[in-house]
Amino acid sequence: MSDSPLDAGATAATDAPPVRIAAFDLDGTLLDGQSGTLVLRYLISHHLVHAKTILLASWWGVRYKLHLPHRQSEVREEIMGELKLLPPDRVTQILDDFHEEILVPRYRANGIAEIRRRQQCGEHAVIVSATFDAVAQASRAFLGADAALATIMERDERGWYTGRVQGEVTAGVEKLRRLRAYADERFGAGGWVLERAYGDHYTDVPLLEAARTCVCVNATHTLRNEAERRGWTQVTWG
């Protein structure tokens, strides 16, 4: 485990053993595909977004793939900006329908089995993802995970979406920060340890390197090189 200040897993302050957490990335790890791209395609097919948003999202995707400068919240705010005029219940229904119709067939059987296996071993399974929180919560319910931490979109005093990200996008080092905050609140500081972490992308490195055991799943080229350099476990899930 790394000795970074953000490392997860301090020694428990009591005699009780620390809760062991298994953290799972969603897109590309538990899921065959990227939920952000898929939700945009879904909205396009239902005529819920305009051409400007499609072009901006496509340009963002190019920068993301090429590791060029990009603002994590940009594409999420563009997408939710299209939906903010709809009642919140309608937005929730759209995202629930998207999950049921598009994501459910794309879950990796090995990932579902691994969540079950970790829970049977007494570990607390948490999905940590940059996707919209509503999508992540639908995933948590379907997969039977214990919790899901994802990007929260801001709402106004009426409960309507503003189109802005609340706080930070749950990506990169923010995944580890969110997990630490959640675990400290749930189990107490020093009452837990990040036993395992699973990811597919180089932005998952902060989460992976903080775990006692890290697993690179269907790793992208950059993460695969990093895994080979560090001797991390690599697996292919179908």
Domains of the chain with CATH codes: 19-235 (3.40.50.1000)
Q: Tally the residues of the chain.
A: 238
pLDDT at 136: 97
Measuring CA to CA, which residue among 2, 1, 6, 4 is closest to residue 178? Answer: 6
pLDDT at 236: 98
189: how many CB neighbours lie within 10 A of its CB?
Answer: 12
pLDDT at 2: 46
Tell me the torsion sign for CA atoms 95, 96, 100, 106: positive
> Of residues 110 and 72, which shows the higher confidence score?
110
202-217 per-position pLDDT tens digit:
999 999 999 999 999 9
Residue 16 pLDDT > 90: no
87-105 per-position pLDDT tens digit:
999 999 999 999 999 999 9
Tell me the torsion sign for CA atoms 54, 97, 168, 171: negative
pLDDT at 11: 45
Can you tell me the mean pLDDT for 16-44? 94
Residue 160 pLDDT > 80: yes
Least confident of 70-84, 137-151, 189-203: 70-84
Can you tell me the mean pLDDT for 37-42? 90
Cβ(30)–Cβ(111) under 8 Å? yes
Share of the chain above pLDDT 90, in %: 74
